Amino acid sequence: MKPLLENDKLVCAHQGVVQLKSDKGKELLLDDNGVITASDLLNASISGCSHNILGVPKPCTKILQIPPNALSETLSVQGEGVVLEDMVSIIMTDNGVPLQLQNSQEKSLELDK
């Protein structure tokens, strides 16, 4: 599996864009981009989500929780597991919908299995 990086593009099921920022993870650069740790993703906001209920906007605005399975068991930065790009579909927004990776780019590091 590959680590999630700051320049990856994550969206919610309604095409809202997760504002990825490597904060704790920036201690570890891969291909010039900081990795994304659990708290980096938990603190990320989501913008542009089109979700509405009967015409009333109810956009996804943040990540609700990150299941442990979405984090690397072998790589951590400042005590936090690195988010695995292959597992973002089990991470939910505050509307209870999963995240999707919009681009899959070449990465020079493989983690776990």
Q: How far is the CB of 96 from Zn ion (least distance, A)?
A: 10
- Using CB under 5 A as the binding rule, the residues of this chain from 63 to 102 that contact Zn ion are none
At position 36, the amino acid (one-letter code) is I
What string of DSSP letters covers 16-34?
PEE----SGGGGSEETTEE
Q: Is 14 in the site for Zn ion (CB under 5 A)?
A: yes
Query: In 10 A of CB 56, how many CB atoms?
Result: 6
CA terminus-to-terminus distance, the chain: 6
Q: Is 16 in the site for Zn ion (CB under 5 A)?
A: yes
Residue from the set 11, 60, 83, 91 that interacts with Zn ion by CB under 5 A = 60
Residue from the set 4, 20, 35, 49 that interacts with Zn ion by CB under 5 A = 49
Q: Is 62 in the site for Zn ion (CB under 5 A)?
A: no
Spatial strand order in the sheet of 100-101:
46-47, 17-18, 10-11, 100-101
User: Quick check: 4 and 41 in contact, CB under 8 A?
Assistant: yes
Q: How far is the CB of 105 from Zn ion (least distance, A)?
A: 23
Residue 16 or 81: the one with the smaller Cβ distance to Zn ion is 16
What is the binding site for Zn ion (CB under 5 A)? Answer: 12, 14, 16, 49, 51, 60
